[in-house]
Structure formats: C-alpha cells, structure tokens
Amino acid sequence: MSNPLVVVVVTIGLIAASAFFVAAEFAVIAARTHRLADEASSNRAARAALRNATDLSLLLAGAQLGITVCTLALGAVTKPAVHYSLTPLLTDVGLPKTLADVVAFLLALFVVTFLHLVVGEMAPKSWAIAYPERGAKLLALPMRGFLIITGPLLRGLNALANRMVVACGVTPVDETSASQTIAGLRQLIEHSSRAGTLDDGRRDRLLQALSVHTLTVGDLLDRRRGTRGTELATVAVTDPPAEIRRVAQESGHLRLPVVSASRIVGFVHARDALGPNVTSASEVMRPILQVAPTDAVLEVLARMQTSQIHIAVVAADAHRSRAVLTLADVAATLRPTAVTA
C-alpha cells in the first residue's frame, strides 16, 4: 500500500481487532461464571458470555486465530510500509543504502512489534483482568458472531489439537472452573504465611475454617475426648420429673437422652420436667437424631437446623462408645479460634 493514510487506518484497525480478541479471551477466563449466571435470565450479553465460558476451547481457538491473523496482517502491511518510508530518510542523512535498508527494517520491526505487543495485547489483557465480568459481557455478542462465522474451521482445528493433547495423556477441558480445592486453598494459605503476607493468627483461623469441610463426627468426638467426662448422662423412659431434674443438675446438661432397654429412643429437656401433670420421661420425650461417626459435621449441622432437633446420638463403633452430640458441640468447631496447623 502506497497511501500512508490507508496504511494508518488499516494498522489501527488490525491493532484494535487484536485487542478485541485478547480482551475477549482473558475476560472469559477471569470472569466468575456464577456472576454471569445471576444476570443471564435478564441480560442477553451475560447469556452470551456464559455461553463463551462453556465453549471455552472453541473461544480460545477463535481468539488465537484472530490474534494470529492480525499479527500476520500487520507484518504484511504495516512493517513494509514503515520500512519503505524510513529507508529514504535514513539514506538522506548519510547512511549507505544497504545499511539504511537494514536499519529501516529493524526500526519497522520494532515499531510494529511494540504497537502490537503493548497496545494490541498487554493493555487489553490488563483491562480484561481488572474488569472480567464487564469485559466478558461487553465483548460477548461480537465474539459469538465471530465464532459462528468461523465455527466449522475452528472445530476442525480444535479437534486436531485435542487429539494431540490426548496423545500426550491430558484430558481436554472445554469449560472454566471457578472452584478451588481444599488442598489448593490450604497450600495458598501456607504460602502466604511463609511469604509474610498473612500473620499466624489469621492463618490459623483460615486453616481451621478449611478443616471444618472435611471434619467428621468421629473426628469431633476425638477432639472432645479428655475435655469432658466419658460417662453419658441419661434418664429412663419411666423416670419421674424429679429424677430428670436431678440428672440435669448433676450433669449440667439441659437435654438428656432417654434410654429404653439400653437403647436411646429420644431426649427430654429439663424444663419439660417442670410441668404439673408430667409423671414420666416418656410423656415429654422428643425425637433424637441418629448419626454415624463417619458423617460430616457440616451435614449434621444442616440436619439439626432443618429438623430443629439440636441433639443427636452417635452410633457406637469399634473405636468409640456411644456418645451424644449437641448443637453447641458442632458450633464450637466453627468458632474462629486459633488452632495448630
């Protein structure tokens, strides 16, 4: 192209196109899909962005194709134009023609590379990472249009690339994931602590919070062992109110398991024994939850909240005797107190 204005316009268009593909790629990768899903029902752009996140492999292929085409076009249009424009100028200042041609080539290469790398890639990448959901929605619809037009070509190239990946023993992934594993979060916390960006107190509280997700009822009983007596305070189904009050006062527990034939069949609350017409525990007995040592503590907490039954009997196993778990025991594991990592 000999017209400088045309070269400038084409160069600006190619750099803008490259910036578009880069921003679309990084915005979808950095965006939280649950935030896009929250807006998908009422926002067409959010639906398109969510579709792009689902078709991640296709989107990446389309973005890379677009960036590559822009790079090649800049090399074919802008670099020669800058090269041919600089050569006579360098010759006029006294450089030999051969040296002027080499210097002009290197300067043209530097100018094109700088414009493409900084303006066409690094700047839009930084913007997309800073505003991922906004960028994903803003660029979603034009990117969907590009993917529809180039879909057959991209799918063919993507299938070929996936075969190469599978041959290397790796499973291709077509969708982003916003989740983090417990192990990954624990490693991040430990690294932050070692780097000095997280103090010991906060590190311990975060590690304790993570441990709750894998804590079982058996683990909780093992932690509790030694902090209270091992004898289980119970009342029989035939015990009168006076006996219920006595056991509650001596044990310090308001909720007491009710036993029938050596089996816990429910529980009574100490205040229920204050009624004027109560003659035995069986009259005021309430249902009790049944849990196993292998049950997760968070699942037990959810069951207690749903059923409004705040006491559970833990089935005995080979390592532990029968025990009772209360809502207070479960809640104590969620308190943000310092623990040893």
Nearest to 137 by CA among 51, 262, 201, 208: 51
153 and 44 part of one domain: yes
Percent of the chain residues topping a pLDDT of 70: 86
29 and 144 part of one domain: yes
Q: What is the pLDDT of residues 229-248, one digit of tens each?
A: 446 788 898 889 888 888 88
pLDDT at 337: 43
Query: Which residue range forms the structural domain that includes residue 49?
Result: 4-167
pLDDT at 200: 78
> How far apart (Å, rounded) are the C-alpha atoms in residues 314 and 300?
11
Ordered strands of the 263-269 beta sheet: 235-236, 255-260, 263-269
Of the segments 13-17, 102-106, 160-164, which one has the largest average pLDDT value? 13-17
Q: Is residue 263 part of a domain?
A: yes
- Judged against a pLDDT cut of 70, whether residue 183 lies above it is answered with no
> How far apart (Å, rounded) are the C-alpha atoms in residues 303 and 289?
8
Q: What is the pLDDT of residues 246-288, one digit of tens each?
A: 888 888 888 888 888 878 888 888 888 887 788 888 888 888 8
40 and 159 part of one domain: yes
Nearest-10 crossing angle of helices 33-40, 132-149 = 80
Q: What is the pLDDT of residues 90-99, one digit of tens each?
A: 888 888 888 8
114 and 242 part of one domain: no
Of the segments 3-7, 23-27, 253-257, 308-312, which one has the largest average pLDDT value? 23-27
66 confidence band (pLDDT: 50, 70, 90): very high
124 and 230 part of one domain: no
Q: Is residue 198 part of a domain?
A: no
Q: Where are the beta strands (DSSP E) in the chain?
A: 235-236, 255-260, 263-269, 289-291, 311-314, 323-326
144 and 52 part of one domain: yes
For residues 32 and 49, the answer to whether their CB atoms sit within 8 Å is no
Q: What is the pLDDT of residues 110-120, one digit of tens each?
A: 888 888 888 88
Q: What is the pLDDT of residues 203-216, one digit of tens each?
A: 777 776 666 677 78
For residues 330 and 224, the answer to whether their CB atoms sit within 8 Å is no
Q: 78: buried, middle or exposed (CB in 10 Å: 19+, 13-18, 0-12)?
A: buried
149 and 269 part of one domain: no
For residues 221 and 320, the answer to whether their CB atoms sit within 8 Å is yes
Q: Is residue 78 part of a domain?
A: yes
Q: Is residue 149 part of a domain?
A: yes
Structural domains of the chain, count: 2
Q: Is residue 176 part of a domain?
A: no
- Judged against a pLDDT cut of 50, whether residue 312 lies above it is answered with yes
Q: Is residue 172 part of a domain?
A: no
161 and 225 part of one domain: no
For residues 211 and 223, the answer to whether their CB atoms sit within 8 Å is no
pTM check: above 0.95: no
Q: Domain containing 309 — which CATH number?
A: 3.10.580.10
Domain-terminating residue out of 167, 195, 225:
167
For residues 315 and 292, the answer to whether their CB atoms sit within 8 Å is yes
Name the least confident of 1-10, 152-161, 228-237. Answer: 228-237
139 and 49 part of one domain: yes
Q: Is residue 205 part of a domain?
A: no
146 and 32 part of one domain: yes
Domain-terminating residue out of 111, 134, 167:
167
Q: Is residue 174 part of a domain?
A: no
Nearest to 235 by CA among 258, 251, 253: 258
17 confidence band (pLDDT: 50, 70, 90): very high
132 and 27 part of one domain: yes
- Judged against a pLDDT cut of 90, whether residue 16 lies above it is answered with yes
Domain-terminating residue out of 167, 182, 205:
167
